[in-house]
Amino acid sequence: MRNTVKKFFIFITVCFLIYAGYLIYLVLLKGPALSKHAANPRQWIVENRVMRGGILTRDGEKIAGSIIEGDNNKRKYYYPQQYAHLTGYHSQILGKSGLEKAYDEELLGLKGYSLRNLEARWGLVKTEGDSLYLTIDHQLQMKAYELMSSYRGAAVVLNPRTGEILAMVSTPSYDPNNDSLEKSWDKLRENESRPLWNRAIQGLYPPGSTMKIVTAAIGLKKYPQLQDVTFNCQGQLTIEGRVLRDLRAHGTVDLKRALAVSCNSYFADLGMRIGSEDFTRGLEAFGWGAELPFDLPAADIPLDRESLQNANGLAESSMGQGKIQVSPLFMAMVAGSLGNGGLMMTPYLVQEIRSPEGDLVWKREPQPLRTVASSEIAWQVQEGMVQVIRPGGTGTAASLPGITVAGKTGSAENPAGNPHAWFVAFAPAEQPEAAVCVVVENGGQGGRIAAPIAKELLRLALTRED
Amino acid sequence: MILLVLVLKYLLLFLICLFLLNVILNLSPSGKTKKAVLEVLSSGTAAVQSGKKWDLGKGVLLGRGSECTVNLPDPYVSSRHARIILQDGKYYVTDLGSTNGTLLNDQPLTFPQQLHNGSYLKIGGFVLKALIPEEKKAGRSLLLPLFPGLIIAAGGLELYWQQLLKYQDIGVLMAAALMLVISSYVVEYRGRGDPLLIQMISVLSALGLVLIYRVDPYYGIRQSYWVIAGFGLYWAIQIFLVEYKRLLNYKYTFMVLSLVFLAITILFGVEAGGARSWLSFGSFHFQPSEFVKIFMVIFLAGYLDENKEILRGGTLKFGRFYFPDWPYLGPLLAVCGLSLLLLVFQKDLGMALLFFAIFLVMVYIATDRSYFLLLGLGLFSAGTVLMYHIFPHVQNRLSIYLNPLEELDAGGYQVVQSLFAIGGGGIFGQGFGSGFPTLIPAVHTDFIFSLMAEELGLLGALAIIGIYFILVWKGIQTALQASDDFGLLMACGFSSILALQTLIIIGGVSNLIPLTGIPLPFLSYGGSSFISNCFLIGMLSKISAEGESAENLGVVADTAGD
């Protein structure tokens, strides 16, 4: 009998230990997610005791701030459409998104255990949260939205030497101010052009011919003498029974010329010669199949190894069709890295966090992400990209007087209709200060639709005061 | 200013952790005292080596004769030379009229004298040394019984600062605090039985009182009355119940009482919180099942004690298993089945689960037969499946358990809010008075643990689980040291009530197991629950005290002999 009692007690002991372990798991591992859950009313009670910090651009323009309305704080977005996808929204009913979500604790000043935080947590005094200072240039952002607003698509401008995002828009956009957002929520969600979706970081598109700068870099790595080799374009190429067409027969072309006229046959042939193993490795060096670190939840760039195993897949991928996909942000980073001697920088949007008194709480340092190519190769690709803008190239619409622009057009075939118009560029070519990527969904020829937008953005980016 | 607030907010957590630490440091190693022995220092013959030890036990006989435990084969030793007896925890040595006499510390022994630790006995050519361990309960704690008072004071201070404490309530709260502290001190210094039992529940009651008052002063004041009444009942049991064995004669009375209580509830009960398990007398609600759980344990302990031998063997054959005959098995199954049925009718699933588990544990312990356990678990699974198909609210509970966040609007609100509260507490909690109890329905009864975890944090929650565990452990220890099998079974039943109730409700509110409502002993608001649990602890104390004195008299139930 006593032994059975002891057995029973061992059972009870094990139960209590399991309970203790489960509670530790629940609080330490599940706790943070539970605290931020949209249905948790606690965060809103705490939030009402805090003046949420503002969001400002690099030049000090306030784009989001809190105003007091009766007993409640109200969030106000001063340039709603232009910045909607960056700031996100902030609603008791719909939850939070964008920077409002990603930097929630900082904006509320609740990060960590400082005394100021405790005061806010206990509701002793109404405190004020920290403010975010973005890398965005206000004028450039406004201009970008203005240029893009009549299209569906995205535009990204960044500084290739630091990774700072100077402008990032996604169109169509929406109004994140609560009065408007909560009323039109259902309509926004059902809208077929998906205004709530941030195309610049979440959209994955085939890159079309802009991919050729990547193929060129991979080819140069495998064949250092590639620049001296010529290829005879006959206007079409037959690969395993499938015919691949060009707009016209380009005749004898070398690498620079092939980039300038965007010769499909040249790059299909080059891709097949590189072979699936080296091509895959080359893509990985650029960041395909890796995580894309960013302040907002950006889509990782997928790498479909399977599709690169046969000649047709290789040929398609090397000219940016088939299973190859990129986001506009990523393509801007690729173009920027070729201008930056092959060094890709980690992109970022928040450069400083400042306390309500204006003291610096946190400051971002630029960080290299990866080396995508040697500086020699980057330079050679860049020479080809300069030819794209020069007379006879496909991207002449992006030329700026007195400044050497390097770019590449793209028209990505897609099942949804007209090709997506792409344009990536950086300038000045010798020492780039800005890299840009423009995508217009179903816009047709990249050189006609996307290049002029890119040109305007580059011009403004290069003349900005900083 | 902010530092003062910091201290006020976390004083409660600090006190609870300190209490637990104090208890753990003061624990004697599982109540096992070292044995008293007699060691041979120098031997008179080669047959006995020096260094040999004899266990003194409840007393031994020393001499040359073979009937003597301490056999000293020496011609100078008489056949029955001397005797050592145990009385009131002390050993006495007497010379039995030996030829050559006995020397105690070189003095001839003429009358019975106490044998102290390190005393020398000289018998013939032998020199024997007595090694007697120090008495138990050497150090009494001055601090431990004070904790319930400190907790109420700390809670009151913070509530006062938040302007939640009403002046007219201070007297009642102080009376309750005084009751708890005085009870703890009396037990520590004058009482018999394990003092930790009452100290543990005093601290739990004090914390419960503070938390309940913080949620709603109306309930807090009522709980203070329950605390005073409950501890009054505890002392009534200690004073008026002469021997717990007397309850054995009334076991069938308890059985009938149990069934009548449950039946009355079915007939006249009112519904509250989804379960129809309350009798209403004006503003006063009474929950009979809380008392039935105690009566049931007393009945089962009596019945099983009487019939355990028969229940162990078996003549009834089911497949490969033998079961006891119907006349013995029948009443047990009938009572258990009937009470379960009544509880299920009341939709009081938590209580039904508790009853069934206690029944299983007690039968298993009484019979030592694990197939009863297997059979019970089989029946339990079958019952669960059956209930799942019959009652829609059981299905609902299960889907909430599996996916609480998605069932938010379909009844999962309470559990989800509880999870938010526990998860939001972090390691140290939001601080006492800074949580959001109004967001959880029934927070002062079944969900008090969630509030505690939110305000006192993971640390507080673990400390409370630790306190419950030590309470259960002390209960089990009481069972093991009980002077008879009736006491053992009763103590086991009561300990399982404490353990299972704690596990069922803490698991429920943290969604480790499906939620079935039941109060958390001593912490949750509720008069019936509090008083019945005091009754339970009163009985445990009684069993512990009688087991202790039986041990001292040297009649510890080795008679159980298994």
| Per-position pLDDT tens, chain A of length 466 | 888 899 999 999 999 999 999 999 999 998 888 888 878 888 788 777 788 899 999 999 999 999 887 777 789 999 999 999 999 999 888 888 999 999 988 888 877 656 666 776 676 666 788 899 999 999 999 999 999 999 999 999 999 999 999 999 999 999 999 889 989 999 999 998 999 999 999 999 999 999 999 999 999 999 999 988 899 988 888 888 888 888 788 889 999 999 999 999 999 999 999 999 999 999 999 999 999 999 999 999 999 999 999 888 999 999 999 899 999 999 999 999 999 999 999 999 999 999 888 888 889 999 999 999 999 999 999 999 999 999 989 999 999 998 999 999 999 988 888 999 999 999 899 899 999 999 999 998 888 999 999 999 999 999 876 6
Nearest CA in chain B to A31: B423
Q: Which chain A residues contact residue B453 at CB under 8 A?
A: 23, 27
Name the minimum distance, in Å, from the CA of B148 to any CA of chain A: 24
Residue type present at position B36: A
Please report the pLDDT score of residue B34 as a whole number.
62
Return the closest-CA partner of residue A52 out of A38, A68, A40: A68
User: Is residue A373 one of the residues assigned to a domain?
Assistant: yes
User: Is residue A409 one of the residues assigned to a domain?
Assistant: yes
Count CB atoms within 10 A of the CB of residue A405: 26
ipTM: 0.83
Q: Please report, for residues A182, A210, A218, B103, B267, the alpha-carbon distance to residue A258 in angstroms, rounded to integers and kept in the order given.
A: 51, 12, 15, 119, 93
From the candidates A17, A24, A25, A26, which should be mutated to test the interface with B, based on the most B CB atoms within 10 A? A26
**Are A42 and B488 a contacting pair at CB < 8 A?**
no
Please report the pLDDT score of residue A466 as a whole number.
64
Helix axis angle for B349-367 and B326-345, nearest 10°, is 160
User: Is residue A459 one of the residues assigned to a domain?
Assistant: yes
All residues at 6 or more sequence positions from A338 whose CB lies less than 8 Å from its CB, including other chains: A213, A217, A372, A373, A378, A381, A382, A385, A406, A426
User: At A274, is the secondary structure helix, strand, or coil?
Assistant: helix
DSSP H/E element including A290: none
Q: Which chain B residues contact residue A35 at CB under 8 A?
A: 420, 423-424
In B47-76, the residues whose Cβ lies within 8 Å of chain A are none
What is the domain extent for residue A404? 201-349+366-463
Nearest CA in chain A to B499: A12
What does the DSSP assignment read for A309-345? Answer: SSHHHHHHHHTT-TT--B-HHHHHHHHHHHHTTTEEE
**Are B476 and A15 a contacting pair at CB < 8 A?**
no
Please report the pLDDT score of residue B504 as a whole number.
93
**Are B405 and A13 a contacting pair at CB < 8 A?**
no
- Strand ranges, E, within A106-208: 127-128, 131-134, 153-158, 165-171
Q: What's the total number of domains in chain A? A: 1
Calpha distance B61→B63 (Å, rounded): 7
Q: Which two tokens stand for residue B319?
A: 């497949």
**Are B480 and A122 a contacting pair at CB < 8 A?**
no
C-alpha of A7 from chain center: 60
**Are B510 and A26 a contacting pair at CB < 8 A?**
yes
User: Is residue A332 one of the residues assigned to a domain?
Assistant: yes
Calpha distance A262→B378 (Å, rounded): 75
Name the minimum distance, in Å, from the CA of B68 to any CA of chain A: 30
Calpha distance A128→A49 (Å, rounded): 9
Q: Which two tokens stand for residue A331?
A: 């393509």
B560 touches chain A (CB under 8 A): yes
B503 touches chain A (CB under 8 A): yes
Among candidates A9, A19, A119 on the partner chain, residue whose Cβ is nearest the Cβ of B476 = A9
User: Is residue A45 one of the residues assigned to a domain?
Assistant: no
Nearest CA in chain A to B561: A1
User: Is residue A30 one of the residues assigned to a domain?
Assistant: no
Q: Which chain A residues contact residue B365 at CB under 8 A?
A: 1, 4-5, 8
Please report the pLDDT score of residue B30 as a whole number.
45
* DSSP bridge pairs for B95: B82
User: Is residue A404 one of the residues assigned to a domain?
Assistant: yes
Assess contact for B532 and B294: CB atoms under 8 A: yes
Please report the pLDDT score of residue B133 as a whole number.
72
| Strands A50-51, A127-128: pairing kind | parallel
Please report the pLDDT score of residue A458 as a whole number.
95
Count CB atoms within 10 A of the CB of residue A357: 6
**Are A1 and B430 a contacting pair at CB < 8 A?**
no
Return the closest-CA partner of residue B463 out of B97, B54, B23: B23
All residues at 6 or more sequence positions from B248 whose CB lies less than 8 Å from its CB, including other chains: B302, B305, B486
User: Is residue A277 one of the residues assigned to a domain?
Assistant: yes
Among candidates A5, A13, A40 on the partner chain, residue whose Cβ is nearest the Cβ of B420 = A40
In B328-387, the residues whose Cβ lies within 8 Å of chain A are 361, 364-366, 368
Calpha distance B219→A90 (Å, rounded): 38
**Are A16 and B468 a contacting pair at CB < 8 A?**
yes
What does the DSSP assignment read for A57-110? Answer: -TT--EEEEEEEETTEEEEEESSHHHHHHHH--EETTTEE-HHHHHTHHHHHT-
- The CATH number for A332's domain is 3.40.710.10
Assess contact for B151 and B206: CB atoms under 8 A: yes
B324 touches chain A (CB under 8 A): no
Among candidates A18, A35, A123 on the partner chain, residue whose Cβ is nearest the Cβ of B423 = A35
Nearest CA in chain B to A35: B424
Calpha distance A299→A68 (Å, rounded): 36
C-alpha of B337 from chain center: 26
What pTM did the predictor assign? 0.72
Please report the pLDDT score of residue B142 as a whole number.
79
Assess contact for B176 and B212: CB atoms under 8 A: no
Calpha distance B22→B390 (Å, rounded): 50
**Are B512 and A24 a contacting pair at CB < 8 A?**
no
* DSSP bridge pairs for B279: B286
**Are B361 and A37 a contacting pair at CB < 8 A?**
no
Q: Which chain A residues contact residue B506 at CB under 8 A?
A: 19
**Are B2 and A19 a contacting pair at CB < 8 A?**
no
DSSP A159: -
Instruction: Give the gyration radius of chain B's Cα atoms.
Output: 28
Residue type present at position A81: Q
| 3 state SS for B104-172 | ECCEECCCCEECCCCCEEEECCEEEEEECCCCCCCCCCCCHHHHHHHHHHHHHHHHHHCCCCCHHHHHH
B483 touches chain A (CB under 8 A): no
Exposure string for A182-218, b = 16+ CB within 10 A, e = fewer: eeebeebeeeeebbbbbbbbbbbbbbbbbbbbbbbbb
What does the DSSP assignment read for A160-181? Answer: TTT-BEEEEEEES----SHHHH
Q: Which chain A residues contact residue B501 at CB under 8 A?
A: none
Q: Which chain B residues contact residue A9 at CB under 8 A?
A: 473, 476
| Per-position pLDDT tens, chain B of length 562 | 778 888 888 999 999 999 999 888 877 554 445 677 888 888 777 778 878 888 887 788 888 888 888 888 888 888 888 888 887 777 888 888 888 888 888 888 888 888 888 888 888 888 888 887 765 554 567 788 899 999 999 999 998 888 888 888 899 999 999 999 999 988 888 777 788 889 999 999 999 999 999 999 999 999 999 999 999 999 999 888 888 888 888 888 888 888 888 888 878 877 766 667 777 777 777 888 889 899 989 998 998 888 887 777 766 666 666 666 667 777 777 877 877 777 777 777 788 888 888 988 998 898 888 777 888 888 888 888 888 888 777 788 888 888 888 777 777 888 899 999 999 888 988 888 888 888 888 888 889 999 999 999 999 999 999 999 999 999 999 999 888 889 999 999 999 999 999 999 999 999 999 888 889 999 999 889 999 999 999 999 999 888 877 665 544 444 433 3
Please report the pLDDT score of residue B249 as a whole number.
86
Name the minimum distance, in Å, from the CA of B462 to any CA of chain A: 6
Name the minimum distance, in Å, from the CA of A435 to any CA of chain B: 44
B506 touches chain A (CB under 8 A): yes
Q: Which chain B residues contact residue A37 at CB under 8 A?
A: 405, 420
Nearest CA in chain A to B510: A23
Q: Please report, for residues B43, B67, B71, the alpha-carbon distance to residue B48 in angstroms, rounded to integers and kept in the order given.
A: 6, 16, 9
Name the minimum distance, in Å, from the CA of B522 to any CA of chain A: 18
Q: Which chain A residues contact residue B419 at CB under 8 A?
A: 26, 30, 34
**Are A41 and B436 a contacting pair at CB < 8 A?**
yes
**Are B507 and A24 a contacting pair at CB < 8 A?**
no
